[in-house]
Amino acid sequence: MRLAGAGIALAATSAGEGRFAALAAAQRGLLAGWRYTGAPPRAFAGFAFAPEGGAPLPNARLWVPELLLGETAGRVSLTLSCAAERAHAAPARWQALWNELCRPQPGQCVTLPRARLVARPAQLAEQAFLARGRGALAAIAAGRADKLVLTRSLQFSGRLAPPAAPLLDTLARHHPACATFAVGGSGWSFVGASPETLLALEGSRVAVDALAGTAWQSAARALGDDKNRREHDLVVHAIAQALGEHCQDVVLPPTPEIMELEGLSHLRRRLLARRPPGLGAFELIARLHPTPAVGGAPTPAALDWLAHHHDTRGAWYTGGFGWLDAAGDADIAVCLRCGLIEGERITLYAGAGFVAGSDPAQELAETEAKLAAMRAALLASQQEQAAA
């Protein structure tokens, strides 16, 4: 399935500890008043990792696009939406948005030399990551946490950054097993390809990915080694506990499968459950996010340690993004393998989980392997533009 939206017919934005409760209330109001013909229309939703931050994106938002293009199995659909009080002006607005979508965008075919991007020196940032990693291992050894996920960013600059659309196309081709996404605003775009589903709802069926444990071609450890297994099991246990407290018939695969991506492999188990009537997407997100895959375990202790050690995360990195529909179904991915484009600057994000026995140098190498996915997509996108 592919979706593309333009304009905002209705939106709810929130931040703080009650952000998911606020969006849940907004969703209930939307579902109660949504009138439509044909297939259930969809809204988008996204949120940052922490209850504060996320700029230039809002911390947490639910919105209905005015125009929504969809493609499923070669069949294309167009959904037009508006608030009831603006219905009289909606046709003209829809036409204007459609015209804008069909208009060629400047900068779509820039030449490679002009668009060449240069990485900013990262040595000090790498040393800081290693120092925080040693601090994380000390906290784990002292019993203050079982797992801590540390993140870092890498910045590029150039006279002209690549537009989001061709980068998104490149990610979709190179990472077909991932959920590729892009959200844009005035002067910025947030783009990525995530291998991890935070929450998928279809009727009463609930699906959540436990994705933890990573290997790559030059890794010193194997995917099935003790460190990766322990890291994976912490995520599985936390998700199973959260689902068991609020859902029925939780199904936990006995062993993980191997998810093979371009340049990376992960251990994954997809947990299934059945949600009771009245339990919506945001109520479940509030109970699941952040999983130990992106925060740590136990969650309260991990989040406290990360906050005190200034593990800040840009945009919606390790938050979530996806869609919800008028029937109450949803598909929300964890925002991983992603980057923020702001004018001439691109910031890429990656992280790694520390447990007892982790080697900070190997965890740094893991972040480099994860950053390579977006770096390769940026280069491929530039080359394809140059050849066009």
What are the catalytic residues? 147, 196
8 Å CB contact between 350 and 241: no
- Per-residue exposure over 142-165, b if at least 16 CB sit within 10 Å of its own CB, e if not: eeebbbbbbbbbbbbebeebbbbb
Separation of alpha carbons 123 and 7, rounded Å = 41
CA torsion, ordered 107, 113, 115, 120, to nearest 10 deg: -170
Separation of alpha carbons 146 and 130, rounded Å = 18
Integer CA distances (angstroms), 250 to 20, 239, 246, 297, 328, in order: 23, 10, 10, 21, 20
Contacts of residue 216, defined as CB under 8 A and 6 or more positions apart, other chains included, come to 263, 264, 265, 366, 369
